[in-house]
Amino acid sequence: VVRHTISITISNSGSTPAHTYQIAIPGSMFDRLASINAFDNAGKELDITRRTTDQNEKATILFDVGIDPLATGSEMKIRVTMAFIRILAPLPANIAQNENQLVKYVDNHFFYSPYPTVYQKTEVRLPSQAIESHSEEPPTHAK
């Protein structure tokens, strides 16, 4: 299981109060999505509903997160957690019992969002310090 935890600062630059925030997931990842949850800054779980749309259904899956009315010019923070399955690939596929197993993890460097993103920090936590290789999108560093 791979878990994504995303802290989001929502800013309402529209002319009316906002009642929902959309979360986008690439269509290629949807069949691997095991769970999705959202919480406000106080830790209260927010309602999430899958948005039904026929346009670009395979390209992007959208979820509506219900938020307390957010006035024009206001900001709020939410935290979204997503769990994905079947995303780690063992390399090689078969090993002897006494060999160490490598795992390949492929994902995007960037948060997939239907909104303009002002700031982003991506942190990947692994159960081991042994990293054979990783891609870099500046500024990147492995601890």
- Residue ranges per structural domain of the chain: 2-105
pTM, 2 dp: 0.83
Q: How far apart are CA 143 and CA 131, in angstroms?
A: 10
Model confidence at 94: pLDDT above 80: yes
Report which of 82, 77, 73, 66 is spatially closest to residue 119, judged by C-alpha positions: 77
Model confidence at 74: pLDDT above 60: yes
If one counts every other C-beta atom within 10 angstroms of the C-beta of residue 88, the result is 13
How sure is the predictor about 133, in pLDDT bands with cuts at 50, 70 and 90? confident
CATH code: domain 2-105 is 2.60.40
Q: What is the pLDDT of residue 62?
A: 92
Model confidence at 56: pLDDT above 60: no
Q: How far apart are CA 126 and CA 43, in angstroms?
A: 25
